[in-house]
Structure 1
Amino acid sequence: MLISPALARATLADLTRDSWIPLHPDVLLRTKQFRGNGHIVIGDIALRGYKNKARWHYDDRDVERAARALTELQPDELAIVELPAYSDEPGSWDTPDWRRTLVAWMYSAASTKSFREGRWQGEWDSWKRIGDNGLPGGLTMTEFVQARPSSPLVQTIAGTLPKELLTWSGTNWLLPRDYVNLLDRWEQVLADLNQRARICSTCHADGTGGWRTPATTGYITLCPACSGTTYRSYKGGQRGVPYDSVRRTSRADDYLCRLCRSSRAFTWDHCHDHGLVRGPVCASCNTFEGKGVHFLEAEGSVLHLLECTSCRQQQTLPRRYRNEITAAHLRETERHGRCRSRPRVYNDDFHHGTHTFLLCCPSHGTRWTKTMTTREVRDLARTFVAAALTSEAPDAGHESEL
């Protein structure tokens, strides 16, 4: 029987209430994780997500299996856990590695503590030194266990809380042997799921997580070539049409994303200043469009914003982008005295036709303000738009719908 995430969470919590392994059943509520490989792994059991009428569900038999596997484990002898050395290099997190994850948590907590106590102003690397308790940066075990990021669910592995079982012998880190074996199996299960999710559902090409695209029953994997044959390319047929009208009469997910042109579209992107449609975009590109100046730096982004016919006619962009353009201009032109450092520019305050930006020199900490008139801000935006339009191919962005 298919059950809701809330009921699955309650069922898992109830069935594992006597388990000695600390569990965080709220991981079953993180349905956004289904985009990765369609499953959430509890212990070494993969719970598949089923989508029906735009809502996610679990199979109650999978929940019961995961609970039974956890409760059947018995506390046993402790085993030495060989943790890898910490590295500043970001590397790749595509392959699950619970040992590396534990190390990352330790040093993240140590760095946070060092910054909070002001030790970063002295010897920068002091927070990396390992103490007698095996932890870096003068952390106590209590501080490490209690350290939480903005989302506590980030510090779970296989739905469990390994920090609460970790102990220090004086020379080595220790965990119950069966729990270590469980986490090793979790790694393999998750790695296999991730690999299968890379395979195009149609041509079976091996690709990337970027090929995942939403479907009525969940997520599927389609390479750009197969996406192009499955979904229509958008040719501008809804240009100039109010968003409220389009969302009632046309489905965005019939099209390829207008921006990345490789994933199925998810929603109609539209200009919030004028209420006009720009085009169909996938969930990833829709999120990226909210990144302001970072979005403006992407190829084709400005021309996409100008799919709003009112913005194109006025040769301008929505206000939030005009502010981003002005802030970028100030970062390039404003300096604190003879200092060569580019200032940080913060959100402006608009009052009586003028924009006041707060600037801060990163080298000296000096702060000052810069006032720009509305006309100056609009002129900067028009110059920016004009430069984008000169790069537009003849008739580009003005195709007719096939």
Structure 2
Amino acid sequence: MSVTQDDLVEVVFPAERSYEERAAEEEEAWWRTDWRRSISGWMHDEVRRKLMAEDRPYSEWGAWRAIGENGLPGGLDWVEFVSTRMNARRPMSIAGTLPLQLLTHAEKRWWLPRTYSDLLDRADQVEEDLLARARICSRCGARGPRLSGWRTPTTSGYVTMCPPCSGAEFTAYPGHLRGVAYGQMRARKLRADDYLCRLCQSSRASVWDHCHEHDLVRGPVCASCNTIEGMGTPAYLLRREEVVEHLLECGRCRSERTLPARFHAAVAQLHLEAEVRHASCPVRPHVRHRNTTQAGHVFDLYCGRHWTKKWRQEVSDTEALELVHVFVDQALTAGSPGAGVPGPRASSDTPSRT
């Protein structure tokens, strides 16, 4: 079967933009579904991955966004790129298909079968139409932001309700179950969906969240917030005041001045970001939790200004627990849990690195 020029369509990928350029763009334009931009993003992500794996400082990356003769940025090799992406834990797919298998570079241009390109365009449009419909409040007709999270479960299925309408429809949780054992509350068959989510305060709650270490109720949360609180990155969660306040709804966490064990390394990470510096450099380091050993937590630190300066630091379990106590004390004293970032360790001076 022969393929003619009419069977193909040229694919023009958008140029990669810096973070500043993205931030300056309107939210609507940036988040609009675009399969071409998705593929371009895969290419540039692979360039960044390779450069970071080589431990090259950003100042030596050069024109890594520049497109080469083979149509790829940063000197990428097509076979290596496709192999890496296709063998990833989550292969790059769009609309349930694998576009890299059909993409062809010829005559310094990218090509796809016309019917396949049309399919991807239709998939983009269908997704945009569904998102547009999901943004309209079913009560008052208000149109919310694209990433509003206005979808809320009801007895008849999911509906879209703006925060004012949700507030009028459901009851704010008064905290009357604080200190009640989760197992006891379940036996009483109390319903969470009578209340607003106490985290986002905009969606109907669907489950009772509780402290898994002390088996005490924290409060009603929606499915989305329950997933974020249960599976989100601990260091990210602790930067949100409402999340820390919610964690301290457990009476024993509050009285014992502690947090669930999975947050201890995150508290130590926030401490290192706030207090440790590379020599006299004023820039906060990038801190990554490497692993947890029997002795404590191990972190990799990168100077945010001098990318060649990297070092490793350990925080013992005892030190981490002291930092958790300080974090909780500061949060409770401030009246807005989460506002406090743990200060220097009481047991030693804050280290610096050269």
Aligned to 1:279: 219
Aligned to 2:134: 197
CA contact (8 A) 2:264 2:321 kept: no
List aligned pairs for 1:3-402, cutoff 5 A: 77-89=7-19, 90=22, 92=27, 93-117=30-54, 123-148=60-85, 150-153=88-91, 155-208=92-145, 209-216=148-155, 218-248=157-187, 249-289=189-229, 290-335=232-277, 337-343=279-285, 344=287, 346=289, 349=293, 358=299, 360=301, 362=303, 363=306, 364-371=309-316, 372-373=318-319, 376-377=322-323, 379-389=325-335
**For 2:152, what is the secondary structure of its paired residue?**
strand
> What displacement does 1:120 show?
5.7
Q: How many residues align?
A: 316
Tell me whether 223-232 or 192-201 shows the greater mean CA deviation: 223-232
| Alpha-carbon distance in structure 2 between the residues aligned to 1:292 and 1:111 | 25
> What displacement does 1:125 show?
3.1
CA contact (8 A) 1:76 1:178 kept: no
> What displacement does 1:198 show?
0.6
| Alpha-carbon distance in structure 2 between the residues aligned to 1:148 and 1:163 | 9
**For 2:9, what is the secondary structure of its paired residue?**
strand
> Percent identity among equivalent residues?
45
> Does the C-alpha gap of structure 1 residues 76 and 251 become closer, same or farther in structure 2, counting only changes over 3 Å?
farther
**For 1:128, what is the secondary structure of its paired residue?**
coil
> What displacement does 1:370 show?
4.7
> Does the C-alpha gap of structure 1 residues 146 and 307 become closer, same or farther in structure 2, counting only changes over 3 Å?
same
| Alpha-carbon distance in structure 2 between the residues aligned to 1:262 and 1:133 | 49
| Alpha-carbon distance in structure 2 between the residues aligned to 1:330 and 1:110 | 29
**Amino acid in structure 1 at the alignment position of 2:112:** L
> What displacement does 1:251 show?
2.2
> Does the C-alpha gap of structure 1 residues 375 and 317 become closer, same or farther in structure 2, counting only changes over 3 Å?
closer
TM-score normalised by length of structure 2: 0.76
* Residue deviations 1:91-142 (CA, integer Å, cap 9, x gap): 5553111222221122222333344455667731343222211111222332
Q: What is the CA RMSD across the aligned residues, in angstroms?
A: 3.3
Structure 2, unmatched stretches of 5+, are 338-354
> Does the C-alpha gap of structure 1 residues 118 and 335 become closer, same or farther in structure 2, counting only changes over 3 Å?
closer
Tell me whether 162-171 or 301-310 shows the greater mean CA deviation: 301-310
> Does the C-alpha gap of structure 1 residues 189 and 75 become closer, same or farther in structure 2, counting only changes over 3 Å?
farther
**Structure with greater contact order relative to length (CA < 8 Å, sep ≥ 6):** 1
> What displacement does 1:262 show?
0.4
| Alpha-carbon distance in structure 2 between the residues aligned to 1:390 and 1:204 | 34
> What displacement does 1:84 show?
2.0
> What displacement does 1:143 show?
2.5
> What displacement does 1:340 show?
4.2
> Does the C-alpha gap of structure 1 residues 369 and 302 become closer, same or farther in structure 2, counting only changes over 3 Å?
closer
**For 2:149, what is the secondary structure of its paired residue?**
helix
Tell me whether 290-299 or 162-171 shows the greater mean CA deviation: 290-299
| Alpha-carbon distance in structure 2 between the residues aligned to 1:348 and 1:118 | 24
CA contact (8 A) 1:269 1:286 kept: yes
| Alpha-carbon distance in structure 1 between the residues aligned to 2:160 and 2:240 | 24
**Amino acid in structure 2 at the alignment position of 1:331:** E
| Rg (Cα) greater in structure | 1
Tell me whether 362-371 or 248-257 shows the greater mean CA deviation: 362-371
Structure 1, unmatched stretches of 5+, are 1-19, 21-73, 392-402
> What displacement does 1:359 show?
6.3
> Does the C-alpha gap of structure 1 residues 245 and 139 become closer, same or farther in structure 2, counting only changes over 3 Å?
same
Tell me whether 335-344 or 193-202 shows the greater mean CA deviation: 335-344
| Alpha-carbon distance in structure 1 between the residues aligned to 2:159 and 2:111 | 40
CA contact (8 A) 2:241 2:336 kept: no
| Alpha-carbon distance in structure 2 between the residues aligned to 1:385 and 1:370 | 21
**For 2:31, what is the secondary structure of its paired residue?**
coil
| Alpha-carbon distance in structure 2 between the residues aligned to 1:184 and 1:390 | 47
Tell me whether 276-285 or 214-223 shows the greater mean CA deviation: 214-223
| Alpha-carbon distance in structure 2 between the residues aligned to 1:193 and 1:375 | 47
| Alpha-carbon distance in structure 2 between the residues aligned to 1:202 and 1:318 | 39
